């Protein structure tokens, strides 16, 4: 019924409009006709017509709806539709019906006459967000709606732009270090291994490792670093494969995490605090309080009780890896006296003659130290796996 009323209202509009206009011009007939060509007269007529329209609209707005609807229905129901008007009415009805079905305008007809909150609860039952409370048209967006708008916008725009590849992540040098044969000069350069000390702190014994000088800082030759690193990695792999004890030493702040991961990969040991003098040269007194136990070829404790002679034996590392040799010069001297081979990162202010297998590089940067330590730990891990695999075959 509502659709038919709308269609008929379209038919009645021209006649109503013409009637209103005729009334307006009839009411303004008091103005002399001989002055119709005057602009002021036309403006006066237009103003008078607008005033009458406003007055009628104001009076119409004061009429109750209950009194207006019967009169409107009565006026719309007068007269019969012609064949052309009936055809137009049917076409409009079919158009409105198909439009409403295609746009699903009446699928939630039960919400008519309810409060906005109740209507919103009904309309959101079939949506992917049933708990969403939408805001009305005269209110700003809620926090939930703003989040959904931003989320849907990001689905379309988040992947736009260029993709960044070959990005350097320093934390991977500790947990996922590269293999010794996979390390390149580019990796060393990204970690800052080439940066040496100030020229005022230069030690002349490192002349063969210096590539040049830039703004008062020595630049280390990374080709020398790469060859020395691969040689030291072979040593670590061989010691780990033969079942030797590897001791990692680094006493600077921030090096403990890398030392822990390196010792875990190689089944070795580490010292991250102060080096106790006499640990190697006076091990009888220093290591007397340490608990000793026997392990098998798989590094598993045998739980066998040791005899007094076995307990009193000296246990020394088979390889000492030092991250900051400048501060741990005593450890290098003790390793020389105890005939323990050493590997150390040699900066331009360090003494390479105290180290068995020096690795020229920056020992002040954590990125540089973690990269070099990670490569050595990866080599030791591979040697350990080879040893365990060989023992399983035997």
Lowest-pLDDT range, 154-163, 288-297, 349-358?
288-297
Domain, as residue range, for 59: 2-106
Decide which of 83, 106, 129 is a domain's last residue: 106
Chosen domain end from 106, 122, 155: 106
- The 10s digit of each residue's pLDDT in 192-213 is 999 999 999 999 999 999 999 9
* Residue 117 forms part of a structural domain: no
Distance of alpha carbon 100 from the chain centroid? 44
Rounded mean pLDDT, 220-249: 95
pLDDT for residue 322: 97
> Do both 184 and 328 map to the same domain?
yes
Q: Poorest-confidence range of 88-92, 97-101, 216-220, 247-251?
A: 97-101
Q: How high is the pLDDT of residue 128?
A: 78
In a domain, 18, yes or no: yes
Shared domain for 187 and 285, answered yes or no, is yes
Cβ-count burial of 197 within 10 angstroms (0-12 exposed, 13-18 middle, 19+ buried)?
buried
Is 125 among the domain residues? no
> Could you tell me the CA-to-CA distances from 327 to 89, 270, 293, 317, 349 in Å, in that order?
99, 16, 32, 20, 11
pLDDT number for residue 306: 74
Q: In the listed set 88, 106, 124, which residue is the last one of a domain according to the structure?
A: 106
Of 275, 288, 389, 280, the closest CA to residue 323 belongs to 275
Q: Contact 315/283 with Cβ under 8 angstroms?
A: yes
Residue 119, domain member (yes or no): no
Residue 123 domain-assigned? no
**Number of domains observed in the structure of the chain:** 2
Q: How far is Cα 117 from Cα 120, in angstroms, rounded to an integer?
A: 5
Place of tokens 């129901």: 77
pLDDT at 15: 41
As a whole number of angstroms, the distance between CA 347 and CA 351 comes to: 8
Residue 63 lies in a domain: yes
Confidence of residue 6 (pLDDT cuts 50, 70, 90): very low
**Is 154 a member of any domain?**
no
Angle at 186 between CA 180 and CA 192, to 5 degrees: 95
What pLDDT band is residue 292 in, cutting at 50, 70 and 90? Answer: confident
Query: What's the rounded mean pLDDT across residues 142-171?
Result: 84
The two three-digit tokens of residue 365, written as one number:
């940067």
The answer to whether the beta carbons of residues 279 and 334 sit under 8 Å apart is yes
Average pLDDT of the segment spanning 208-224: 95
Residues 85 and 192 in one domain: no
pLDDT value of residue 117: 52
DSSP 10-27: HHHHHHHHHHHHHHHHHH
Residues 387 and 284 in one domain: yes
Domain at 358, CATH number: 3.40.50.10490
132 assigned to some structural domain? no
């Amino acid at each position: 019924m509502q659709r038919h009323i709308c269609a008929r209202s379209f038919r009645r509009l021209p006649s109503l409009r013409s009637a209103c206009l005729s009334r307006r011009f009839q009411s303004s007939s008091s103005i002399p006709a001989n002055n119709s060509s005057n602009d002021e007269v036309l403006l006066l007529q237009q103003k008078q017509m607008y005033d009458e329209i406003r007055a009628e609209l104001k009076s119409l707005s004061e009429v109750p709806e209950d009194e207006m609807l019967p009169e409107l229905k009565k006026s719309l129901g007068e007269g019969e539709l012609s064949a052309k008007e009936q055809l137009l009415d049917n076409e409009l009805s079919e158009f409105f019906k198909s439009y409403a079905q295609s746009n699903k305008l009446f699928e939630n007809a039960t919400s008519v006459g309810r409060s906005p909150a109740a209507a919103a609860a009904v309309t959101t039952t079939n949506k992917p967000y049933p708990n969403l409370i939408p805001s009305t048209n005269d209110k700003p967006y809620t926090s939930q709606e703003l989040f959904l708008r931003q989320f849907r916008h990001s689905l379309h725009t988040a992947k736009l732009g260029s993709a960044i590849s070959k990005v350097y992540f320093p934390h991977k040098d500790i947990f996922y270090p590269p293999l010794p044969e996979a390390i390149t000069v580019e990796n060393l350069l990204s970690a800052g291994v080439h940066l040496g000390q100030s020229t005022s702190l230069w030690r002349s014994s490192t002349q063969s490792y210096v590539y040049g000088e830039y703004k008062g800082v020595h630049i280390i030759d990374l080709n020398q670093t790469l060859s020395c690193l691969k040689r030291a990695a072979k040593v670590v792999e061989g010691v780990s494969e033969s079942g030797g004890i590897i001791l990692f030493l680094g006493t600077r702040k921030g090096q403990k995490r890398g030392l822990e991961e390196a010792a875990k990969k190689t089944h070795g040991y580490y010292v991250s605090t102060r080096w106790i003098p006499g640990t190697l040269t006076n091990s009888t007194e220093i290591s007397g309080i340490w608990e000793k136990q026997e392990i098998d070829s798989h590094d598993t404790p045998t739980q066998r009780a040791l005899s007094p002679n076995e307990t009193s034996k000296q246990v020394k590392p088979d390889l000492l890896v030092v991250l900051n040799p400048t501060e741990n010069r005593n450890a290098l001297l003790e390793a020389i006296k105890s005939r323990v081979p050493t590997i150390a990162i040699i900066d331009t202010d360090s003494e390479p003659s105290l180290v068995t297998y020096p690795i020229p590089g920056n020992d002040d940067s954590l990125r540089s130290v973690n990269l070099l330590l990670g490569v050595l730990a990866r080599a030791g891990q591979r040697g350990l796996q080879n040893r365990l695999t060989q023992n399983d075959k035997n």
